[in-house]
Amino acid sequence: MMMKHTLLYFTKAIVFGLLMAAVFLLVNHLLGNQANNLFRANDDNTAELSFAKAVRRAAPAVVNIYSLSIDQRQPLNSGALQGLGSGVIMSKQGYVLTNYHVIKKADEIVVALQDGRRFSGEVVGSDPETDLSVLKIEGDNLPVVPLNLNSLPQVGDVVLAIGNPYNLGQTITQGIISATGRNGLSSGYQDFLQTDAAINAGNSGGALVDTAGVLVGINTAAFQIGGEGGGHGINFAIPIKLAYSIMGKLIENGRVIRGAMGFSGMPVVPVMAQILKLPDLRGVIITDIDAAGPAAQAKLMPRDVIIQYAGEDVPGVDMLMDRIAETAPGTEITMTIIRKGESYTVPVIIGEKVSQYN
């Protein structure tokens, strides 16, 4: 009996040791692969930090976007190319993501690849709300940017911005993710990734990638004060999960169809909760109503508090605006509101938000 227990003890110890060795080797292999991506060996067998592999993976898919300007007085003469910004090839089918503000005034668009090829770009659709446009080019063996929609960037991640600043040619800048936002259709700067990687004029529409060369955002803007340019280390990129969703809608419909209710609201603060006899601080207080909108037709009123939307609790303004935007126009939904301390259910037919193209 003692021999049996001894053998069992040693067997468990050996199995545990083998498992731990396997885990160690696996982790070492994964870390080794990551280190190989970040470090480059020198001739003297030392290693130095480098993002060259990430750049080689992503940069070929980042294109330069030009406008073909034709002199109307001599329309038969060849036109001159004027630099507009950057874009990212998202698929082998030739779909290119860029910013709406990059191409909105272009009469004819030329997309230039890093291998020297040039293509005429056709606008598939645009969404001014998120400042995104999709172009289509026709070509073979197009480079496509690496993509992983399940890997979300975190504050502190190192990122690289790739684009064509000031039409100087493709340039790489490096920084970190300074802040992250949401991924909702209601849009706004709160949705964006903030980074201190330099995004200058011409970088717009280019790629923001991680240290593996995987696309995490579409560069869009630099923070400006008054008439100043950028240079404050506060730059913005549209998160790829939102950009990819918008791209799909633009390819399908040529535009993004958003629901709307025709009201503005504010979060519930303690003072208003007491005044309006609310049980807690959740919900959205209606502050203003469009007289011709769905909210007015449903007889909603200022100071009504929306606490549920289509059976889902409403914690605040951002969530509610996203849910409304994601609801197809013409859909009837039921909301729960509190008015003068009493709870009511209200049916509302969602309208369509009109995008302003300017």
Q: Does residue 232 carry a catalytic annotation?
A: no
Question: Is-contact 90 247, C-beta < 8 A?
Answer: yes
191 has catalytic annotation: no
The one-letter code for the residue type at 233 is G
Environment class of 94 (CB within 10 Å of its CB; exposed 0-12, middle 13-18, buried 19+) = buried
Q: Which of 69, 136, 133 is nearest to 101 (CA)?
A: 133
Question: What's the 3-state SS for 181-227?
Answer: CCCCCCCCHHHCEEECCCCCCCCCCCEEEECCCCEEEEEEEECCCCC
- Are the CB atoms for 124 and 254 separated by under 8 Å? yes
Residues 6+ apart with CB under 8 A from 134: 95, 96, 97, 98, 123, 124, 125, 126, 247, 250, 251
DSSP at 355: P
Residue labelled with tokens 């731990």: 20
| Catalytic residue selected from 67, 101, 186, 210 | 101
- Identity of the residue numbered 340: K
Annotated active-site residue in 67, 127, 131, 186: 131
Catalytic residue among 67, 133, 186, 204: 204
Tell me whether residue 204 is one of the annotated catalytic residues. Answer: yes
Q: Give 307: exposed, middle or buried? Use CB within 10 Å, 0-12, 13-18, 19+.
A: buried
Q: How far apart are CA 158 and CA 310, in angstroms?
A: 40
Residues listed for the chain: 358
Q: Which residues are catalytic?
A: 101, 131, 204
